[in-house]
Amino acid sequence: LEQKKPVPPLDVALIAGFCVLALVSLIGLPRALTRIPGGADRFQLLVSSGLIGALVCVVLAIVWPRIAPRVSSVLPSTMPNVSIALCALTGFAVMLVAVNVFRGWPQFPDTFAELFQAKLLSVGRFWIAAPHRQDLLRIGNTVVDQGRWYSQYPIGNPALLAFGIVTKMPWLPGVIVGLLFATGTIAIAYRMGGNALATIAGLLVIASPMVILSSAAVMSNATFAALAACALALMLLRRPTFPQVTLAGGLVGLGACVRPLDALILAAVLGVYVLTRPEAQPDRRVALALLVVGTVLGILPLLAANAETTGSALRFGYTVMWGNGNMPGFGIRGPGIVFGFADAMRNLLFDTGLLNLSLLEWPLPVLVVAAVAVATRARALDARWRLLLGYVLAHVAVYFLYWHHDFFFGPRFLLPVVPVLFVILADALRRVARWRPARMPARVATFCVMLLPVQALTAAALVALPSLSHAGSPSAATSAAIARAAHSADLGDAFVLVNDGWGSRLFGEMWRLGFSASQAEQLYARVDACTLQHALDGASALSRAAAERFVLDATANASPGTPIGKGIEPSLRIPAGALPAPCAAQLAFDEQSYRSPFAPLLWRNDPSGRGTTFMRDPGLVSEVHATQTVYRVEVSSSNNMYVVRFIALDGGAIKEVRFAY
């Protein structure tokens, strides 16, 4: 009898690492459910879709023997065309969400700053002069340094967004990301298993609300994932030519223009793959050199943009804004945050647990299904599978050491490995479909085989589709209404004040007094809003150095306070007991005049200062002195109708605009 070859230690480590990742994701599920809004309701919905899927499987187990021959005769000939159609369908789905749900508007804070940079790029500029009143114009994630004002983010995603601004098709960048994401994922699957695997992987892409929403929102994580998938697909060719290796390197370099750390991980994994792959080009050193050359060529726009903004090609906006503590590692990171092993474990539990919920909205945990698919191979892995598994584990390991984690449509820092996860899940589905238990009754076997794909399709129909249609941010929609109304009202060279809450005003005042972004974040986290406002009021007339000393002394013994738990900003922290009159006045002002966040409106301003300029309302702290007309905006909505009123502060005529939504 032929003896089975032992599994190499590297393959054992990769398979074990994937299984550990799946176990961590299961442990993290309760944490994810408690932290995300509506987690309990979401879990109930997934359980309900799982029960419905099980009932559908029972029906299919009964009728399948009659329809199986027809399905088997049609699928093989149509699969290549189905894969192409799925790429087009992904782009179309992204366009529908971008146009009908997001309405071409940014949806989360990173994109607010990226669109500000995109607006600058659309007129041929990398930066503009720092605003005289940072409290009125500056938003988070933008840098003011040496008189220059620009976004902290690398140039890649803003350049893509600028393409949408120039073409006046704001949905187009998202469609490009979606098409590249689907094309790269399907190409990887085709390299790994042919048309059947490619078709299943394409179906998973189109069924993923996390992918469709992230692409439509043009999140940098989705943009990088699309570029990474295409680069991996090129390198997974049996014998990639030298031009293909160079092109893959170019895609990695462009990925660095979007997310430098993610690109560094991908480049390292691809470099090891080129040097160790047994069926690679005859001269591996030449292939590695061409991969490096392509990467360097792709990264040139990033280096040029850094030189223009930060003053050095190798200095990033992140570093200017937050200092050197922004890289992975334990210790003092980012805005003065102490980051240790326990914090890293909490982040990992949350991210992997949430990925089980948000990637496909399955009632079954996707990472567990993927781990079972990997573990049941239990043999020496093909070099290409080593590349894919190694990439996933390397990415997770590096971000395990990264201090900042959040979620938007899912754990966004794990989005770059999603194309590989889809291929692994597609492989699991294909292998289940081929499973034929010898002694199990036919209908029971059919039920078991159908359970996983039917659960996936049921979740897509009952959970994923509704989540796509209700994913738009209400505050971003209100900002869009204000911009549309201002255009219709033809306000000319006027200032429009938008009140976006006391918390935002506090940051604006700290920036105006000269506090760095890191200092402002630390103060806001350490001091309650009332005490901080009182200190800022006292420092408003002082010089920069004196103001900093005054505020730090005035808040030295302050407590963080407790969240207010209601109103416009429920997370705003105030001291316990009766509130001082100035503090109560700030809350009353917000209750009466809060309308929408200011940040989504900044990119609508002309960089040259012409036309209508949107500004943050200074509230009770100060007034705006200008030769132009100054309006405060009011917005209300009812009966599918927006009513936007522009009230002139000088007592002039009120302009009102109504339109349906």
Give the per-residue SS3 of 19-53.
HHHHHHHHHHHHHHHHHCCCHHHHHHHHHHHHHHH
Closest CA to 35 of 344, 341, 346, 337: 346
Q: Does position 441 have pLDDT exceeding 80, yes or no? A: no
Tell me the pLDDT band of 118, cut-offs 50, 70 and 90: very high
- Taking each continuous run of H as one helix and of E as one strand, the counts in the chain are 25, 12
Tell me the pLDDT band of 39, cut-offs 50, 70 and 90: confident
Q: Does position 1 have pLDDT exceeding 50, yes or no? A: no
Closest CA to 217 of 170, 279, 148: 170
pLDDT in tens, 640-658: 788 888 988 887 888 888 8
Q: Does position 72 have pLDDT exceeding 60, yes or no? A: no
Q: 573-574 and 613-616 as β-strands: parallel, antiparallel, unpaired?
A: unpaired
Tell me the two tokens of residue 428. Answer: 């699991």
Report the C-alpha dihedral over residues 529, 534, 538, 540, rounded to 10 degrees: 40
Q: What angle do CA 266, 271, 276 make, to 5 degrees?
A: 130
Residues 6+ apart with CB under 8 A from 233: 183, 184, 187, 188, 191
Q: 337-339 and 142-145 as β-strands: parallel, antiparallel, unpaired?
A: unpaired
pLDDT in tens, 552-570: 999 988 888 898 887 778 8
Strand blocks (E) in 240-358: 331-333, 337-339
Q: How close are the terminal C-alpha atoms of the chain, in Å?
A: 73
Q: Does position 127 have pLDDT exceeding 90, yes or no? A: yes
Average pLDDT (42-58) is: 81
Look at 625 and 349; give whichever has higher pLDDT: 349
Average pLDDT (105-115) is: 88
Q: Does position 465 have pLDDT exceeding 70, yes or no? A: yes
Q: Determine what percent of the chain is predicted with pLDDT higher than 70.
A: 92
Q: Would you state the pLDDT for residue 437?
A: 62
The CA distance from 497 to 635, in Å, is: 12
The H or E element spanning position 143 is strand 142-145
Look at 101 and 187; give whichever has higher pLDDT: 187
Look at 618 and 79; give whichever has higher pLDDT: 618
pLDDT in tens, 287-323: 889 999 999 999 999 999 999 999 999 999 989 988 8
Burial 261-278 (b: 16+ CB within 10 A, else e): bbbebbbebbbebbeebe
Average pLDDT (36-53) is: 79
Q: Would you state the pLDDT for residue 380?
A: 74
Q: Determine what percent of the chain is predicted with pLDDT higher than 90.
A: 43
Average pLDDT value for the chain: 86
